[in-house]
Amino acid sequence: MEQIDRSGLLVLHKYNDFANKLLLDTAAKMSEEEFTRESSPSNGSVRGLIMHFILCEYSFILRCNGTPLESINEDFDNFTFDQIRELFTRVANLRQGYLETAGDEGLNEIVHLTIRKLPLDLPRWQMLAQSLLQSIHHRGELSIVMTLLGYPLPTLDPIIQFVKESGQEWAWG
Amino acid sequence: MDSMNKSSLLVLHNYNNHANKLVLETAAKLDEPAFTTSSSPSHGSVQGLLTHMLTTEFFFLARCEGKPVISKPDAPPLTIEEIGVTFAQIAEERRKYLAWASEDLLAQEIIVPIGGHAIKLARWQFLAQSLMHSAHHRGELSIVLTGLGHPLPTLDIIIKFAQESGQQWPYS
């Protein structure tokens, strides 16, 4: 069966970090009213969408490193924008640290989780892939919602990150 | 440097195929005006977004295969049926290519002209770009199609993982 190994997950993780920073830089230009306004059929608002996908990222890395979700007791509903940005950094650092030390055995090990009271057994690499690919989808949603609010996102294509990392020039800046 | 091997690319390819089919099934429910009407700040319409995804997937696969890419700017817009057929052809071509390609070939750098620049990257990077690019635009389509009254089903890869392993997904 095919799988994404540690190196592949690190590619997805680094791209995710790159794209999330561009997203937050644009969202930081919005007023509080624009940020929280009912503007999206998915998760209600820009804030709702951003919190949805970063909390998914957070929950999956916690499950991977064995931290009980019940031990997290933070008032996410009232996080300021600065606190949200700090949460993104914290989650990215957690995942980076986990992936730097994870072995293939650990990534392939099945973890038991419960979603809506139903048990689900998946290897860690699948949980990490889910969280990273889901964020790409939601940034796509945000690109429409934020453009309609007057805050278009820059192009988030991974090829731009690949080109810049290799010291080449990207044609569109 | 971190990289994606054949197995990782096949996971992304299989998921892309699965998610594109779900998007196409929903888009096929639109009538012609809804499919072509100006409804998206990104690529104008559902038709425009799907065509952009499709041509990007085609472009990067062809470049990795070393095949020429001939632009047809005057070609008529594709119908939903033509888009569906072409996505299936590209998916089959990429599946065969990934089954055939060696790890060395995927890691080999090639030069692709983009925006007047000769971009030199490994084949796996161009393939990853095309697959992640489509994931981003499916997110855009989720908002646009909902606005047109045809919301997408949940496209999360975890649903595919759960179903492939014979488990029940709680939301289905």
DSSP B108-134: SEEEEEETTEEEEEEHHHHHHHHHHHH
Residues A89 and A123 sit within 8 Å (Cβ to Cβ) = no
A112 touches chain B (CB under 8 A): no
When pLDDT is averaged across residues A60-80 and rounded to a whole number, the result is 93
Alpha helix locations (H) across B28-115?
Answer: 32-36, 46-65, 80-100, 103-107
| pTM for this prediction | 0.97
**Interface contact flag, A139 B14, Cβ < 8 Å:** no
Query: CA of A168: which chain B residue's CA is closest?
Result: B119
pLDDT (0 to 100) of residue B136: 98
State the count of interchain CB pairs (< 8 A) between A and B.
154
What value does the mean pLDDT of chain A take?
A: 96
Task: Name the pLDDT band for B42 (thresholds 50, 70, 90).
Answer: very high
**Interface contact flag, A147 B158, Cβ < 8 Å:** no
Question: Which residues share a beta bridge with A121?
Answer: A112
User: What range does the domain containing A153 cover?
Assistant: 6-165
When pLDDT is averaged across residues B114-127 and rounded to a whole number, the result is 95
pLDDT (0 to 100) of residue A95: 98
Tokens read off for A172: 């569109």
> Chain B partners of A134 at a C-beta cutoff of 8 Å?
156-158
Domain count, chain A: 1
Query: CA of A147: which chain B residue's CA is closest?
Result: B41
Torsion on CA atoms B149, B51, A25, B121, rounded to nearest 10 = 150
Closest-CA distance of chain B to residue A146, Å = 10
Does residue A14 sit within a domain?
Answer: yes
CATH class, range B6-164: mainly alpha
Q: Whole-angstrom Cα distance, residue B144 to residue B38?
A: 10
Q: Whole-angstrom Cα distance, residue B36 to residue A141?
A: 20
> Chain A partners of B137 at a C-beta cutoff of 8 Å?
140
Q: Where are the domains of chain B?
A: 6-164
ipTM greater than cut 0.85: yes
Q: Which of B17, B23, B129, B150 to substitute to test the interface with A, most A CBs within 10 Å?
A: B129
**Residue linked to tokens 């796996």:** B124
pLDDT (0 to 100) of residue B71: 84
Does residue A1 sit within a domain?
Answer: no
Does residue A73 sit within a domain?
Answer: yes
Task: Name the pLDDT band for B155 (thresholds 50, 70, 90).
Answer: very high
Does residue A53 sit within a domain?
Answer: yes
Look at residue A173 and tell me whether its pLDDT is greater than 80.
no
Does residue A140 sit within a domain?
Answer: yes
pLDDT (0 to 100) of residue B172: 64
> Can you give the CATH number for the domain in which A62 is found?
1.20.120.450
Look at residue A116 and tell me whether its pLDDT is greater than 90.
no
When pLDDT is averaged across residues A16-29 and rounded to a whole number, the result is 98
Does residue A28 sit within a domain?
Answer: yes
Q: Which of A7, A11, A23, A155 to substitute to test the interface with B, most B CBs within 10 Å?
A: A11
Question: What is the SS3 assignment for A116?
Answer: coil
Query: CA of B158: which chain A residue's CA is closest?
Result: A130
**Residue linked to tokens 């644009």:** A26
pLDDT tens sequence across B59-116: 999 999 999 898 888 889 999 999 999 999 999 999 999 999 999 999 999 999 998 8
pLDDT (0 to 100) of residue A70: 87
